[in-house]
Chains A and B, each alone.
Chain A
Amino acid sequence: MANIPQRIIHEYLRHDKKFPHVWCAGCSNGIVLGAIIRAIASMDLDRDDIVMVSGIGCSSRMPVYVDFNTLHSLHGRAIAFATGIKMHKPKLKVIVITGDGDCTAIGGNHLIHAARRNIDLKVILINNNIYGMTGGQCSPTTPHDAIATTAPYGNIEPDFNVCNLAMGAGASFVARTTAFHVLELQGMIKDAMEHPGFSLIEVISACPVIFGRLNKKGGAPQMMKDFRDNSVPLAAVAKLPPEKVEGKIVRGILRREIRPEYCAEYAALSKRVQAMGGE
């Protein structure tokens, strides 16, 4: 590690153990990891109190690289594992790293129930519209008509709007941005970390090597430019004519409201029951 330039992110990486990473050139996962680390570093949190839990997939390889308490769990089950950790030790800050397949296909049930409970987990869903690790199969967020290795003639299924799904299930903090808008992402992560309740940030990300290649997206730089050109901030949506918003990625904090948080509710119940039993 002698010649590595020391930046803030390097203080948080397990650089002597687990690099080089597994991600392809042009992948957005590293950008998201950097944003997470910078957000946490700016908050003066004790890293002993941070747990990063993931499922299976490209994005779910993230925990191994960072010097937190880390758990690389089962496909789709990150939120279920995180629920156990958080309920036993509510003082821990539990971040869930997941992908579109991991969280909305195999793990969809855990997502909606954790959102419903409003348990204080920070779910960062990196949505690259495809199963990358297994080589490019279509996922619940693969756009209609897009090509995937299991949709060689075009995907006939409609895709999930992940943020609407989370809001419908009761998530109290929901935000969306892209891997291009990295400072915005960093700010959202900080906001989510400070929010007391179930938080989901959808990061639209680039998989140039598989999704991009199959769908002729023109490589990583072009995909980043597309994120810039094809997204609108939430604040601008109301001012724009509908045709200018149609088909664009709406970025911003879509919901932030305070609702009773699950661990706090449980602690209150436990206290109430104990007070009753003691009399």
Chain B
Amino acid sequence: MPKKDIKTKPAPKAKATKETLAVKPDSKLEEIQATRERKSVLMQGNEAVAYGALDAGVNFFAGYPITPSTEVAEILSAELPKRGGVFVQMEDEIASICAITGASLAGAKSLTATSGPGFSLMQEGIGFAKITETPCVVVNVQRMGPSTGMPTSPAQGDIMQAKWGSHGDSPAIVLYPASVKESYELTIRAVNLSEKYRTCVILLLDEVIGHMRESVRLPDMANVRVINRIKPTVPPNWYKHYDENQKYLSPLASYGEGYRFHVTGLTHDSHGFPTNKSGEAGEMMDRLRKKISYNMRDLVQIESYQMEDATIAIFTAGITARAAKAAIAMARSEGIKVGLLRPLTIWPFPDEAVRKMLRNVETVIVPELNQGQLIHEIQRLTKDKSESNLIAMQRVNGQLITPNDILHKIKEVS
């Protein structure tokens, strides 16, 4: 009975109390909070995700330990109770995604963090969050697969899974940072987009971004933009859980607020009740698709780096894009006109920007830490093979693609 022991002990003195705390009051987070914008702090990508989640207003985390994402859970287990939020270590990743979805239906801003094997287990739950339009965020710090693979080695093998992992058609919002700072920013953006679009947003990190330490200066909280879900203003008997009339962005009530709505993973009508009518089923599916496709301008984020005069373009994301930037600097010093197009939002895919790139350059190199995933999307957009040469560059052995590797390839094709 640990509870009784604690209660019967005399209240410890202030100083003694501080020493018994697992997280000392002068913890890194508090140091960061005190010196935001004034001082740079050395932190890991996974730490940046945890701090980003807190700044975005996440007040519920359920997760299961898995390398290389565990630091996110560890930090939030220390920080959430301090702020009245909830941290639960669940029995597995399936339970984790279900718990964050349940909490979100009760009104929480919720997030979980995992890696390959856990991400695979979560797929059914991700589909449930999408069909029921329940906001939540899944952070996947990618490791090399398949299966247990190489838990501490990088790979970019979950790009397609992040979109197609759950059965059935389900449009996805997936963000992909390339630095520790961006991990912080895109975590906030992921939470914001999940609230705005009422869906499960996925944040893909590379193992090396999750574990890499970089100097980061976090913005002052006053400069952090936080989006909260729209609450219904109608009386309960007028409430439609899936209201089609507001540009596919509909209000969301929470359990316990008098709205008494029904949520089901079955195909449902606009009130949320199951339906077998093909008309209503089609409308529901259209709505899920249009919610994304009608808002591309808001969703798509892309970095275009030295592309103005480029004849060779590199298209890649995450850590590989950083290697590409270094390669570009070296190539440019030798007079080769090469640039980088990097999606920060990897799904929905930035079709328009890629088409423009394909029109303007002669050669596109697609380096990626997998056996060919991003390149399929580029191929899909290459109507005419003569438009530009498409060069694949793939590596899956636990090692990164280095700047020199990319430079070598650039010289080969230039």
A residues engaging B (CB < 8 A)? 14, 17-18, 47-49, 51, 53, 63-64, 67-74, 77, 80-85, 87-89, 91-92, 109-110, 113, 260, 265-266, 268-270, 272-274, 276-277, 279
| In contact, B273 and A17 (Cβ under 8 angstroms) | yes
Most buried by A among B84, B104, B106: B106
Q: Which A-chain residue is minimally distant from B83 (CB atoms)?
A: A274
Given contacts A17-B273, A64-B262, contact A85 B17 (CB under 8 A): no
| In contact, B91 and A113 (Cβ under 8 angstroms) | yes
Find chain A residues with CB under 8 A from B100 CB: 84
Interface size on B, residues (CB 8 A): 54
Find chain A residues with CB under 8 A from B271 CB: 17
A74 to B125 Cα, complex, angstroms: 8
A14 to B334 Cα, complex, angstroms: 73
A277 smallest CB distance to B (angstroms) = 5
| In contact, B102 and A85 (Cβ under 8 angstroms) | yes
A120 to B352 Cα, complex, angstroms: 51
Find chain B residues with CB under 8 A from A81 CB: 98-99, 101-102, 105
Given contacts A85-B255, A88-B86, contact A71 B107 (CB under 8 A): no
Find chain B residues with CB under 8 A from A53 CB: 102
A49 smallest CB distance to B (angstroms) = 6
Given contacts A74-B124, A276-B17, contact A269 B81 (CB under 8 A): yes
A77 to B94 Cα, complex, angstroms: 8
Most buried by A among B3, B99, B124, B259: B99
| In contact, A80 and B90 (Cβ under 8 angstroms) | yes
B297 smallest CB distance to A (angstroms) = 33
Q: Is the interface of A mostly helix, strand, loop or mixed?
A: helix
| In contact, A77 and B257 (Cβ under 8 angstroms) | no
| In contact, B88 and A73 (Cβ under 8 angstroms) | no
Most buried by A among B86, B88, B95, B102: B102
Find chain A residues with CB under 8 A from B107 CB: 88-89
Most buried by B among A81, A89, A91, A268: A81
B residues engaging A (CB < 8 A)? 1-3, 6, 14, 17-18, 21, 25, 59-60, 62, 81-82, 84, 86, 88, 90-92, 94-96, 98-108, 110, 124-125, 128, 254-266, 271, 273-274
A83 touches which one: B90, B254, B265 (CB < 8 A)? B90
B3 touches which one: A49, A85, A87, A265 (CB < 8 A)? A265
Find chain A residues with CB under 8 A from B101 CB: 81, 84
| In contact, B84 and A274 (Cβ under 8 angstroms) | yes
Find chain B residues with CB under 8 A from A273 CB: 21, 81-82
Find chain B residues with CB under 8 A from A63 CB: 262
Q: Which B-chain residue is minimally distant from A17 (CB atoms)?
A: B273
A95 smallest CB distance to B (angstroms) = 12
- What are the 4 tightest A-B residue pairs by CB atom distance, in nearest-first order? A84-B102, A84-B99, A80-B98, A81-B102
A261 smallest CB distance to B (angstroms) = 10
Find chain B residues with CB under 8 A from A113 CB: 90-91, 95
A268 to B256 Cα, complex, angstroms: 23
B256 touches which one: A17, A48, A274 (CB < 8 A)? A48
| In contact, A64 and B274 (Cβ under 8 angstroms) | yes
A84 touches which one: B6, B21, B110, B257 (CB < 8 A)? B110
| In contact, B260 and A85 (Cβ under 8 angstroms) | no
Most buried by A among B81, B82, B96, B254: B81
